[in-house]
């Protein structure tokens, strides 16, 4: 799906490639543009139709880029009637892929057309692409090391803090009662202390969320992950939702610290997610975040693309739930994600060191939570 609110398709979705970039879709667009019935083959010779081919190529490139980020395939083939378009389609596809897939350079891309078979977007040849187009800190500073599991003991929490400090991640997101100790242990490092507000269900009153915020800031919190009132979102009470978010954001920004707003996308439809992006953009939250990690599903690529598209450019995107290895982290990075909640931090960053040819991080791994 390319356009969530695009034309309806017989497949049951809206705005898929069949409705936007297939041969029949191009013919319909050409007919509407010219005011007469026209085929794709005829459109090739009509200068006015060139923008239609460019737009179709961009849509195909976007779909390909999303698959590349998720699957890292080896070849993209397009064929059937579209193969006759040649560079009219190939150029926009290549340009869109190069712009969207930031983690891999465009050199070495295999994008081929065939006169046989239907359109099949399958892969880029990434096996020989360099893997060191990111630095250790590029990936380490994406990670919020998560220590919010209620079964963690005091020893577990302190081991997790030490791990995060050793690996020099972005932050430690810890159970609220342990935040003050966490801030003390991280003092002097480049790792921020963070905690949760209204976690995990978001149903606290605004007054309670505000009290939690004030306590967290007093305890040394530098980044706060707040959960929206999911019930009010589902009820469509947007004034309440906005006021709830604004109370936490304003209090935190007054203290010159930052807020991530958790949507819990597993329970929401796209329209609700988009409205939350708009509210967070208007209020000036620092991140929009997919999930708590305690719902039926976590961060999906479709949701991350949606949030990045509809949040204002200055609002960052955080993925939570389901990013469990370095490849998954790099994939969401390619979608525009700047932060990711993780419990397997050590394993992910050890893998980064190996791939980058760096010495391993020196840290005792005995009984370390999240490793």
Mean pLDDT is lowest, of 220-229, 337-346, 354-363, for 354-363
Same domain, 203 and 144: yes
251 in the same domain as 144: yes
Q: What are phi and psi of 147, to 5 degrees?
A: -130, 55
Q: Lowest-pLDDT range, 45-54, 166-175, 200-209?
A: 45-54
180 is catalytic: no
Longest dimension (CA), the chain: 74
How sure is the predictor about 108, in pLDDT bands with cuts at 50, 70 and 90?
A: very low
Place of tokens 């997610």: 273
| Residue 126: band (very low, low, confident or very high) from pLDDT cuts 50, 70, 90 | very low
Residues 103 and 144 in one domain: no
Q: Which of 38-52, 122-136, 308-322, 356-370 has the highest mean pLDDT?
A: 308-322
Residues 217 and 175 in one domain: yes
Q: Is the pLDDT of residue 188 over 90?
A: yes
For 216-272, what is each residue's pLDDT tens digit? 999 999 999 999 999 999 999 999 999 999 999 999 999 999 999 999 999 999 999
pLDDT over threshold 80, residue 281? yes
Task: Give residue-wise pLDDT tens across range 314-335.
Answer: 999 999 998 999 999 999 999 9
Alpha carbon distances (Å) from 18 to 21, 68, 287:
6, 19, 34
In a domain, residue 10? The reply is no
- 203 within a domain of the structure (yes/no): yes
Say what the pLDDT of residue 71 is.
61
What domain count does the chain have? Answer: 2
Helices (H), the chain: 17-20, 23-34, 40-43, 50-71, 87-100, 136-140, 154-167, 179-186, 206-218, 230-235, 238-254, 270-283, 301-310, 326-334, 345-356
Rounded CA gap, 296 and 126, in Å? 32
Bond from prior residue into 200 cis (ω within 30 degrees of 0): yes
Q: Which range is least confidently modeled, 25-34, 199-208, 269-278?
A: 25-34
Residue 21 has what pLDDT? Answer: 75
The pLDDT of residue 116 is above 60: no
Residue 160: per-residue pLDDT: 96
Residues 73 and 29 in one domain: yes
For residue 70, the enclosing domain spans 17-113
Q: What is the pLDDT of residue 367?
A: 45
The model's pTM is: 0.65
Q: Is residue 2 part of a domain?
A: no
The enclosing domain of 183 has a CATH number of: 3.20.20.70
Same domain? 84 vs 144: no
pLDDT band at residue 148, thresholds of 50, 70 and 90? very high
Q: How many percent of the chain have pLDDT more than 90?
A: 60
Same domain, 153 and 89: no
What's the chain's average pLDDT?
Answer: 85
Q: Is the same domain home to 328 and 227?
A: yes
Of 73 and 169, the structure prediction assigns the larger pLDDT to 169
- The one catalytic residue in 59, 144, 225, 286 is 225
**Same domain? 96 vs 143:** no
Residue 342 lies in a domain: yes
CATH number, domain at 63? 3.30.420.40
d(CA 9, CA 119): 17
Radius of gyration of the chain from its Cα atoms, rounded to whole angstroms: 23
Q: Are residues 53 and 167 in the same domain?
A: no
Q: Is 289 an annotated catalytic residue?
A: yes
One domain for residues 104 and 197: no
Catalytic residue among 165, 232, 258, 289: 289
Give the residue-averaged pLDDT of 24-39. 85
Task: Report the range of poorest mean pLDDT among 31-35, 41-45, 67-71, 242-246.
Answer: 67-71
Asked if 100 contacts 94 with a C-beta cutoff of 8 angstroms, the reply is no
Q: Are residues 77 and 173 in the same domain?
A: no
């Amino acid at each position: 799906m390319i356009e969530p609110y695009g034309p309806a398709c017989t497949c049951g979705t809206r705005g898929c490639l069949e409705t936007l970039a297939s041969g029949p879709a191009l013919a319909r667009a050409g007919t509407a543009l010219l005011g007469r019935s026209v085929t794709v083959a005829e459109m090739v010779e009509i200068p006015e139709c060139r923008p239609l081919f460019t737009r179709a190529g961009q849509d195909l490139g976007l779909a390909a880029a999303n698959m590349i980020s998720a699957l890292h395939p080896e070849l993209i083939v397009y064929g059937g009637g579209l193969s006759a378009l040649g560079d009219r389609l190939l150029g926009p596809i290549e340009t869109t892929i190069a712009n969207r897939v930031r983690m891999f350079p465009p050199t070495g891309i295999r994008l081929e057309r065939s006169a046989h078979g239907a359109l099949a977007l399958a892969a880029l040849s990434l096996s020989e692409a360099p893997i060191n187009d990111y630095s250790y800190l590029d990936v380490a500073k994406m990670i919020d090391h998560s220590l919010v599991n209620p079964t963690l003991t005091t020893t577990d929490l302190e081991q997790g803090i030490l791990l995060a400090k050793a690996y020099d991640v972005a932050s430690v997101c810890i159970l609220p009662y342990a935040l003050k100790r966490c801030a003390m242990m991280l003092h002097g490092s480049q790792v921020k202390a963070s905690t949760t507000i209204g976690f995990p269900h978001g149903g606290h009153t605004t007054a309670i969320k505000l009290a939690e915020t004030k306590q967290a800031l007093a305890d040394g919190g530098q980044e706060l992950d707040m959960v929206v009132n999911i019930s009010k979102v589902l009820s469509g009470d947007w004034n309440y939702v906005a006021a709830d978010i604004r109370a936490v954001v304003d209090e935190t920004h007054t203290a010159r610290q930052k807020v991530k707003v958790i949507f819990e996308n597993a329970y929401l439809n796209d329209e609700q997610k988009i409205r939350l992006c708009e509210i967070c953009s208007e209020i000036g939250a620092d991140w929009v975040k997919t999930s708590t990690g305690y719902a039926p599903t976590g961060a999906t690529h479709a949701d991350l693309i949606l949030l990045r598209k509809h949040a204002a450019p200055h609002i960052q995107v955080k993925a939570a739930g389901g990013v469990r290895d370095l490849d998954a982290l790099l994939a969401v990075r390619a979608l525009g994600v700047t932060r990711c909640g993780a419990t397997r931090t050590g394993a992910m960053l050890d893998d980064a060191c190996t791939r980058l040819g760096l010495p391993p991080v020196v840290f005792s791994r005995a009984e370390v939570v999240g490793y």
